[in-house]
């Protein structure tokens, strides 16, 4: 008698089934490897881009540290003008003279009839300007009758948000004959820059604080600060500090011996 097979019995595997399973597994393995490789490549690419950005920033910072200056990042509407007027300024620093008139409205420290005029374009929030400030002060102490120091504003707004407000506040202090004292205080406490500190310094210097605060809040001297900045652009200033010694450009927060050498050279050329 023929035996009836149970419905739960496994159906017979078609011929060649084992071979097909092997091939399928091979394909799956291969596909997995390709995906893994692609993922690794993508991660590697992102890592390289990230490393490049970090390295680029580090190189820019290192270059600025070595040169002793902060490079200006002009707003879009000023970049073209800056590029046209400043072309080749770095290569020609110290070789091309410019004519700079000093007027009665300028901020001048030192002997008014001095043989050497140092015109500095500076930014009250710039760390290199802070480093350079006592260097120039030392020069005036060493050459009291031979050097005069003229201060011009060159606020780097893109990276120093307090540079322009500080510059305008210093002009309000100048209105009460305390420009240099106010500027010294800003550099001495650069980390405290802000409206409260400006009022505090005005009080410490014995200024009429109400008059000072009104001057600052109304931005009375914004045009003067901007005029200095635009003059710097026309002269090829790219960053701060930038100094002109008898019209000859000296870039960066150079150490005292370098500045002294430039002063001596200017005196010899008289």
Residues 128 and 203 both lie in one domain = yes
List the structure tokens of 191.
């980390």
Residues 34 and 77 both lie in one domain = no
**Full domain range(s) for residue 37:** 18-67
Residues 62 and 93 both lie in one domain = no
Q: Which pLDDT score, from 0 to 100, does residue 10 have? A: 47
pLDDT, tens digit, 9 for 90 and up, residues 139-166: 999 999 999 999 999 999 999 999 999 9
CATH of the domain at 113: 3.40.30.10
Residues 220 and 93 both lie in one domain = yes
- Whether the Cβ atoms of residue 166 and residue 185 lie closer than 8 Å to each other: no
Residues 25 and 110 both lie in one domain = no
pLDDT, tens digit, 9 for 90 and up, residues 58-89: 444 444 544 576 665 554 444 433 333 333 33
Residues 50 and 100 both lie in one domain = no
Residues 147 and 258 both lie in one domain = yes
Residues 184 and 79 both lie in one domain = yes
Which residues does the chain have with pLDDT short of 50?
1-12, 50-51, 53-63, 65-66, 75-94
Q: SS3 of 84, please? A: helix
Please check whether residue 11 lies inside any domain of the structure.
no
Work out how many domains the chain is built from and give that number: 2
Residues 131 and 256 both lie in one domain = yes
Cα separations (Å) of 144 from 109, 140, 256?
A: 10, 5, 16
- Whether the Cβ atoms of residue 118 and residue 110 lie closer than 8 Å to each other: no
Q: Which pLDDT score, from 0 to 100, does residue 58 have? A: 45
Q: What is the DSSP letter of 115?
A: S
Please check whether residue 8 lies inside any domain of the structure.
no
Please check whether residue 181 lies inside any domain of the structure.
yes
Q: What's the burial of 153, exposed, middle or buried (CB within 10 Å: 0-12/13-18/19+)?
A: buried
- Whether the Cβ atoms of residue 133 and residue 187 lie closer than 8 Å to each other: yes
């Amino acid at each position: 008698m023929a035996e009836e097979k149970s419905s739960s019995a496994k159906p017979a595997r078609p011929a060649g089934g084992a071979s097909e399973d092997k091939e399928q597994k091979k394909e799956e393995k291969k596909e997995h490897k390709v995906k893994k490789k692609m993922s690794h490549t993508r991660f590697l690419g992102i890592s390289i881009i990230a490393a490049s950005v970090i390295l680029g920033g580090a190189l820019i910072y290192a270059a600025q540290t070595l040169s002793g200056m902060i490079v200006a990042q002009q707003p879009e509407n000023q970049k073209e003008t800056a590029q046209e007027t400043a072309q080749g300024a770095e290569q020609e620093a110290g070789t091309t003279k410019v004519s700079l008139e000093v007027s009665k409205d300028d901020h001048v420290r030192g002997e008014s009839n001095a043989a050497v005029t140092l015109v500095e374009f500076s930014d009250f929030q710039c760390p290199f300007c802070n480093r350079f400030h006592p260097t120039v002060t030392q020069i005036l102490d060493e050459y009291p009758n031979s050097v005069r120091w003229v201060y011009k504003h060159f606020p780097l707004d893109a990276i120093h948000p307090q540079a322009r407000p500080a510059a305008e506040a210093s002009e309000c202090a100048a209105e009460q004959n305390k420009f240099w004292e106010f500027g010294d205080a800003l550099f001495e406490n650069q980390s405290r820059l802000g409206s409260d500190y400006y009022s505090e310094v005005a009080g410490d210097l014995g200024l009429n604080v109400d008059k000072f605060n009104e001057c600052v809040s109304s931005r009375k001297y914004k045009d003067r600060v901007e005029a200095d900045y635009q003059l710097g652009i026309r002269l090829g200033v790219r960053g701060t500090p930038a100094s002109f010694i008898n019209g000859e450009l000296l870039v960066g927060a150079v150490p005292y011996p370098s500045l002294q050498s430039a002063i001596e050279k200017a005196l010899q050329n008289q």
